[in-house]
Structure 1
Amino acid sequence: MNIVGVLFTILYLYASVSSHNQENEIPSSNQDFIKELNQENIYFLETFNNKDTFSSVWIKSQALKATGDGGTLKYDGDWILEEAVKDALPNDIGLTFKEKAKHRAIASKLSKEFIFRDKPFILQYEVLHQDGQECGGAYMKLISKQRPVKALSDFNDKTPYTIMFGPDKCPVSKLHFIFRHKNPLNGSFEEKHCKPLKHKIDESFTDFKPHLFKLVIKPDNTFSIYVDHKLVNDGSLLIDFTPPVNPPSEIDDPSDKKPSDWDDREKINDPSARKPEDWNETAPYQILDPNAVKPDDWLEDEAINIRDPSAEKPDDWDNEMDGEWEAPLVPNPACEEVSGCGPWSPPLINNPEYKGKWVPPLIDNPNYKGVWTPRKIPNPDYFEDKNPFQMSSIDALGFELWSISAKIMFDNVLITDDEAIAKKFAALTFDRKILNIEKSADTLLNQFIAFTNQYPWLWALYVVILLIPVTLIVVCCFWTTKDTDAEHKKDDDKPQSSVDSSNQPSPVTQESTQTNSKEENPSIEIQEPEKPEPPVTNDDETHEPTVISDDDDDDDDDDDDYSHELIVSADYDDGSESYLTYADDKEKEESHEKEKSHDETEGDQETVLKQRKSKPSKNN
């Protein structure tokens, strides 16, 4: 297992080093980015990383905002540059504010004017709701070049814009895409609002992570909206906006009126129907139940509520100021165990005689002419704009916002006509942020999995590494079980009266027993556990049975106090009997003493055995 741990540690360290080597710091100026990108296709780029040039590039509004009641408000909300509260990359700064519920506006000139002609328009920027969002916007306005007031210090809510794009919540979450379309007949502008999103973006307001909002409009009048590189909406400028770009060719004639004899009632009351004579319109909907009976335990003389007898008038009660004091009402305890108290009345039930007001049945209207609609006339304001992509050119952009929540951060704004540049810029900025956040939030296991997914062959290595200890454990357990089963089987094959090899008889006794067995072939009888009486010979000699013991202690003997005895009785032809007794545990000391005595008198025992053989048999 130590080998497995070492290998995993090495792989993790390698993954950490590899990730660190791939991570680069965010460049400190916009020019560092432009060097890596084709600046001919860039109309605006801002990373907010250069505090020294910020005040000269971004102009805070000094204008006044008109209110509905005829008053004005100042755009006095703060704008500051600082790092994100958490998971900020080195040298990465964003535009944010700290004051809540303030009107604020700020704008900046584009590097060059964008003309909607034959190149796609691509806008992307990051938004980070560091404190979430209760109510407020984080959208951007692309300011039209043709405007009455050119100074960005006068930027306000009435400043003409070409496109408004970005997130908003109050209280519903939205992602605005509005463009102002110019009427080719009279030159007036009208806002066109994009259809609702296909996917919700609520999480972008609550997860405290930066999100990349991207808008792509192409010369073929199609558009695409992305959030964090994922498509959330797309369609056509011609058909997916409200009101539509092109008005209808015909409209209702405003002078047309519905004729007085026009009957648009599809159904009418049957004029021939008559109310039945037994129809009672005055019968009530509900009546008192005539079958109800007052319960026997109903206490009519008891009040449902009584004055609380335990209540006391407060010490500070002033009768002149507060009036006469009365104890509060509490439920009458006498009513708790009965059906009810107070005056009894039968319950209400539905009246079986009720029919309600009579109305005649409906029939088809014979004079029905259908739904009336005014006639159509040619629309005097009709026009057909086949290329709404050709919007008013833009030369500036800005944020004109109000928000209850603070610390909304904007970063890495880009306007280009090349999608490859937009993707590369996102890879240099937004993608690095997300990678850094994921790395900071990841557990060791998640980092390990992510690194392994980059090198799939490591999965096979992990399997091999894990199989080694598993295989060893299985083999060890299998062989241990097999050896144990074999030992049990060996013990089961032995006779119940047999003893361990370590408890065999002494050589002298064993030899004597074998000799007698060969000569006389006596019958062997095993008796357990009772110990027989010692045999008596014809000479009235009493012979002690031979006790065989082993000096070695058996494991079974240590675990159990049960004393085993093996008594072997042999009947000889001459009528004599021989006994072989094995005892352990409780008789072990006695066995040792007898064995010692037996060894000393080996010759005498052989003589005794021969004498037994010479005795006449009982059968004789």
Structure 2
Amino acid sequence: MIFTKKLISLALLSVATSKQYFLENFDDGFKRWTVSSEKEDYGNWEVSHGKFFADEKDSLGLKTTEDYRFYSISTKLDKTLDTAKNPLVLQFSVKHEQSIDCGGGYVKLLPPDFDPTKFNGDSAYAIMFGPDICGGNSRTHTILNYKNENKLIKKDIKAETDQLTHLYTFVLNPDKTFKVLIDNKEVRGGKILDEFDLLPPKFIKDPKAKKPTDWIDEELIDDPNSTKPEGYDDIPETIVDPDSTKPEDWDDEEDGEWEQPRIPNPDYAGPWKPAQIKNPDYKGPWIHPDIDNPDYKEDNTIGNYEIGYIGFDLWQVKSGSIFDDILITDSEAEAKEHAEKVVLPKIALELKAKEKFDEAEIKRAEAEEAASKLDEPESEVIDEEIAEDEIIDDDGHDEL
């Protein structure tokens, strides 16, 4: 099954009303991309389909190639996208073929006046989205910039950590709602004001309000008619264990006078406490009243960005991640169709290719192990022959 550019174009043209801002499948390499010159030792990129893949050409993607490196590369969109007027749908695939242990797999959306030659970790961006994995932590970074501060979504979204390709989709609408999809399935969504700490709270506790001194918030009180039973305090906490016996080998002169061990007294109920009754003066819990937060101001510009570039700004301990099928559009329907007709079928074929690759690797390892064992008997025979040889001294006589 071949996933050519023609098929991609046909799939996308079927959504007639959508606007496409960027499409990249790396079939022609990455000539349109600019590697940052901010560092001299950025990691190198290459175009590769990896060790297992659906199709030799259509599985080509942008791959990191050097361990323990920063990576920084970006390119300009075909046209600027204004999220105040149009939905943003960002979609791309990531394949951590190297069993990534610590490294990023996310993209950054950048402003139109961005300088790709100076791209680095401190460059201001509008949105950062995609998987980030390190040790046992894996998250799908979903970050919005607001007033020059990068605001991470409040609750983490898990990222996929296996060696297969996965598709990540982020949707931001002009009505301030968003969605995150992984492999074309929604995993988070809602209002950005609910899921991101972008504004101070609308209400705060009234700093002038204090609980009245006569406020009764004790729901239960001691029963004044409750009295301690006679002899209650005479009940000991422990008693001598009636089943204990002096050991036969106990010697009073050597071991001292034997004493019976003590055990908890089953009749002991702890320190006496009067019974509790409902407090007739109970007013309920005191609730600190709220007031309008003077620092809160509605902001209709939240989530409004002009996006002109897309880039990868990553650190990877173990390289080998492959990025592909990058799409930026204003249509969820277009992204969904692209996923269903182009990306997901490749992922399904890649899974079968991975199974064949793993089988071949197992056979290769078994063959290497078998070959190494074949060498062992020869060395043993040689050793035995040497052991059986007569050892001759310097005079030519047997030493044995």
- Same topology, TM > 0.5: yes
1:97 paired residue number:
64
Quote the Cα distance in structure 2 between the aligned partners of 1:105 and 1:428. 30
Q: C-alpha distance in 2, partners of 1:139/1:95? A: 13
SS of 1:254's equivalent? coil
Structure 1 match to 2:362? none
CA offsets, 1:556-587, max 9 Å, x none? Answer: xxxxxxxxxxxxxxxxxxxxxxxxxxxxxxxx
Cα 1:180–1:442 change in 2 (3 A) is closer
Matches of residues 10-49 of structure 1 in structure 2 within 5 Å? 23-24=1-2, 26=4, 41-49=19-27
Q: Is the 8 A contact 1:181 1:192 kept in 2?
A: no
Partner of 1:152: 116
Does the 8 A contact of 1:281 with 1:356 survive in 2?
no
1:399 is displaced (CA, Å) by: 2.6
Deviations 1:390-446 (A, max 9, x none): x12122222333444432221121111244543554467524522532554689xxx
Does the Cα contact within 8 Å between 2:154 and 2:197 map onto a contact in 1? no
Find the aligned partners of 1:195 and 1:293 in 2 and give their Cα distance. Answer: 63
Native 8 Å contact 1:122 1:416 kept in 2? yes
Measured against aligned partners, the alpha-carbon deviations of 1:440-475 in whole angstroms (never above 9, x if no partner) come to 4689xxxxxxxxxxxxxxxxxxxxxxxxxxxxxxxx
Residue of structure 2 aligned with 1:229, choices 184, 189, 193: 184
Distance 1:346 1:36, change over 3 A: same
CA distance in 2, matches of 1:102, 1:265: 62
Asked if the contact 2:77/2:309 (under 8 Å) is kept, the reply is yes
| Alignment partner of 1:383 is 2:339 | no
Counterpart check, 1:268 vs 2:221: yes
Cross-structure match for 1:121: 88
In the TM superposition, residue 118 of structure 1 has moved relative to its aligned partner by 3.2
- Residue 67 of structure 2 is aligned to residue 85 of structure 1: no
1:141 and 2:108 matched: yes
State the 1:26 CA deviation. Answer: 4.7
Match of 2:174 among 219, 222, 232: 219
Correspondence 1:176 to 2:141: yes
Matched, 1:289 2:241: yes
Q: Which amino acid counterpart does residue 210 of structure 1 have in structure 2?
A: T
| Distance (Å, rounded) in 2 between the aligned partners of 1:374 and 1:277 | 46
Q: Determine if contact 2:11/2:341 at 8 Å carries over to the other structure.
A: no
Partner in structure 1 of residue 389 of structure 2: none
**Would you tell me which structure has more helix in proportion to its own residues?**
1
Matched, 1:278 2:192: no
Question: 1:300–1:405: structure 2 CA closer, same or farther, 3 Å change rule?
Answer: farther
Cα deviation for residue 89 of structure 1 reads 2.4
Give the structure 1 partner of residue 79 of structure 2: 112
Aligned to 2:384: none
- The answer on 1:369 being equivalent to 2:283 is yes
Could you say if the C-alpha distance between residues 440 and 155 of structure 1 is closer, same or farther in structure 2, counting changes exceeding 3 Å? closer
Please give the secondary structure, in 2, of the residue aligned with 1:205: coil
What pairs up with 1:565-584 in 2 under 5 angstroms? Answer: none
8 Å Cα contact 2:199-2:296 kept in structure 1: no
Distance of aligned partners of 1:138 and 1:269 in 2 relative to their CA distance in 1, 3 Å threshold? farther
For residues 81 and 427 of structure 1, do their structure 2 counterparts lie closer, same or farther at Cα, with a shift above 3 Å needed? farther
Contact 1:178 1:194 in 2 (8 A): no
Please name the residue that 1:452 is paired with. Answer: none
Residues 255 and 87 (structure 1 numbering): CA distance in 2 closer, same or farther, change over 3 Å?
Answer: same
Per-residue deviation, 1:128: 0.7
Amino acid at match of 2:62: L
Shift of 1:122: 1.2
2:151 matched residue in structure 1: 191
**Any conservation in 2 of the 1:77–1:99 contact (CA below 8 Å)?**
no
Q: Which structure has greater strand proportion?
A: 2
Q: Identity of aligned pairs, percent? A: 35
Q: Counterpart of 2:388?
A: none
Q: Any idea what SS the aligned residue of 1:215 has?
A: strand
Q: In structure 1, what is the Cα distance between the partners aligned to 2:107 and 2:101?
A: 19
RMSD: 4.0
Native 8 Å contact 1:125 1:413 kept in 2: yes
Gaps of 5+ in 2: 357-400
Tell me the CA shift for residue 270 of structure 1. 4.2
What residue is the counterpart of 2:372 in the other structure?
none
Q: Which one has more relative contact order, counting CA pairs under 8 Å at least 6 apart?
A: 2
CA distance in 2, matches of 1:400, 1:344: 77
Is the partner of 2:233 in helix, strand or coil? coil
Structure 1 residue runs of 5 or longer lacking an equivalent are 1-22, 64-74, 183-187, 302-341, 444-620
Equivalent-residue separation in structure 2 for 1:144 and 1:264 (angstroms): 56
Q: Would you say the 8 A contact 2:83–2:172 is kept in 1?
A: no
Corresponding position of 2:211: 258
For residues 90 and 81 of structure 1, what CA distance do their matches in structure 2 show? 15
Q: In 2 relative to 1, CA 387–52 (structure 1 residues): closer, same or farther, beyond 3 Å?
A: closer
| Residue in 1 that maps onto 2:361 | none
2:93, 2:180 → 1: CA distance? 14
* Structure 1 residue identity aligned to 2:207: P
Q: TM-score, normalised to structure 2's length?
A: 0.70
Give the number of equivalent residue pairs.
347
Structure 1 residues 345, 172: closer, same or farther in 2, change over 3 A? farther
Q: Give the Cα separation in 1 of the matches to 2:3 and 2:286.
A: 70
Distance, in Å, in 2 between the alignment partners of 1:61 and 1:287 is: 82
Whether contact under 8 Å (2:141, 2:152) holds in the other structure is no
CA distance in 1, matches of 2:109, 2:36: 16
Q: Distance in 2 between matches of 1:348 and 1:109?
A: 83
- Secondary structure (helix, strand or coil) at the match of 1:370 reads coil
User: Which AA in structure 2 matches 1:395?
Assistant: G
Secondary structure at 2:335's aligned position in 1? Answer: helix
For 1:107-506, list aligned pairs within 5 A: 107-145=74-112, 150-170=114-134, 171-181=136-146, 191=151, 193=153, 204-206=160-162, 208-239=163-194, 241-243=195-197, 247-248=201-202, 250-270=203-223, 273-280=226-233, 283-284=236-237, 286-294=238-246, 298-300=248-250, 346=260, 348-385=262-299, 388=302, 391-419=304-332, 421-423=334-336, 425-426=338-339, 429-438=342-351, 440=353
Change (3 A) 1:26 1:370: same
- Work out whether residues 96 and 408 of structure 1, in 8 Å CA contact, stay in contact via their aligned partners in 2: yes
Offset, 1:33 = 6.4
Counterpart in the other structure of 1:530 = none
Cα separation, partners in 2 of 1:282 and 1:166, compared to 1, 3 Å:
farther
Taking structure 1 as reference, are residues 189 and 123 closer, same or farther at Cα in structure 2, changes over 3 Å only? same
C-alpha distance in structure 1 between counterparts of 2:173 and 2:332, whole Å:
11
Please report the TM-score for the alignment, with normalisation by the length of structure 1. Answer: 0.47
- Give the deviation of 1:222 after TM superposition: 3.7
Evaluate the alpha carbon distance shift between residue 288 and residue 255 of structure 1 in structure 2; reply closer, same or farther with a 3 A threshold: same
Counterpart Cα distance in 1 of 2:273 and 2:137: 47
Question: Which whole-Å CA distance do the structure 2 matches of 1:287 and 1:105 have between them?
Answer: 76
| Within-5 A mapping of 1:453-602 | none
